[in-house]
Every structure is written in C-alpha cells, then in structure tokens.
Structure 1
Amino acid sequence: MKTAIIPQVRIEPQLRADLDAVLRDGETLSEFVESTVRGAVEHRLVQSAFAARADEAWARFQRTGTGRPAEDVIADMRTRLEARRKELQSKHRPSDA
C-alpha cells in the first residue's frame, strides 16, 4: 500500500519552540506527528465505539424497559479495575527469582 502525506499545518512560533523542546533524543518531528496522530485516531475510534455501545444500550432499554442497575455496573467496573491494577502491579514488581 502506498503511503500518504499529512498536510502541513501552520502554527505559531511559540508552539513550534515548545514542540521542539519536548522531542525526545533522536526523535524527529515527523515521528512525533505520526505518533500523535495515531494516538488521536485511536482515541477517537474508542470514543466512537463507546458512543455506539451507549446508543445501543439506550435503544435496548427503551424497547424493553429493562436494564442493569447502576450499582451493579459500577461494582463490575470496580472489580475489573482492581483486577487490572493487580495485573499491572505484578508486572512492575521485581521478580523473587
């Protein structure tokens, strides 16, 4: 597949100076822009998927009149969050070997 070019964007000199100041050693402006655009696209895709799921849940509730109590949803989210925290903590602890 051929690559495409992102259009040039005019920015104020101060923003360009700030941008240059945050580039990591060896990182190019092009790499920074590509990484940032990829992150923004991923974020927007996640937002869109979330909104679609919310719209479907709302439509389902309107059709059926049934749904899950907020307390149950929050409890499930807390359980998932705690499991993820434990997973991440175990990855960052030095091994006992």
Structure 2
Amino acid sequence: MKNATLPSLRVDPELRQAAESVLNEGESLSSFMEESLRASITRRQMHREFIARGLASYEDAKKTGVYFSSERVLADLEEMLRQVEAKEGNR
C-alpha cells in the first residue's frame, strides 16, 4: 500500500510525449515514472558502493604497500570471464 507521494513534476511537452511513446501496453505514466525512479536510485546506490569499495581498496593498498598493475587486474578479470563462459558453455 502506498502511503507517500512525490512532488508533481513539470516537464516539457516533448519529454512527456517521449515518455508516453515508450509505455508498454497497459502501463501508466505513473508506474513508468515510479519504475524509472527506483532504477535510478538503485543505480546511484550501486555507484556509491563501487566508489566506497575503490577508496577502501586504495587505503588498504597505501597501508600495506601491495599494489596490482592494471595488466594483472585485466588478466585476472579475463580469466574469470573465460571460466564463466566455459561453465555456461557446459549447460
């Protein structure tokens, strides 16, 4: 049950028309706006968490003096990707 409202949103007629043009069958503009807001919130939360992990990793590297080259990181990521692709290929 919804128990809060958001402020009205004034937009250019072109933006409203663009939003309405991509609605799925039976979808309301309000539900589209709510879904878009939720997705944007999630994206921003994930971005902030990513930055926080990066800064924590940087601080850890400064403390320990252990750093990894970009070449090694990329090689490790490519190996992880190969393993996932191989696992998915076995399905």
Q: Say yes or no: TM over 0.5.
A: yes
Aligned-partner Cα distance in 1 for 2:66–2:43:
31
Equivalence for 1:62: 62
Structure 1 residues without counterparts, runs of 5 or longer: 92-97
Aligned length: 90
TM-score between both structures, scaled by the size of structure 1: 0.77
Equivalence for 2:35: 35
The alpha carbon displacement at 1:19 in A equals 1.0
Deviations 1:6-60 (A, max 9, x none): 2111100111111111111111011101110111011011101100011001111
TM-score between both structures, scaled by the size of structure 2: 0.81
Runs of 4+ in 1 over 6 A off after TM superposition: none
Aligned-partner Cα distance in 2 for 1:26–1:90:
39
Task: State, as a whole percentage, how many aligned pairs show the same letter.
Answer: 33
RCO comparison, higher one (Cα < 8 Å, 6+): 2
CA RMSD in angstroms, aligned pairs only: 2.4
Alignment of 1:1-97 (within 5 A): 3-82=3-82, 83=84, 87=88
Query: Is the deviation greater in 34-43 or in 63-72?
Result: 63-72
- 3-state SS of 2:45 partner: helix
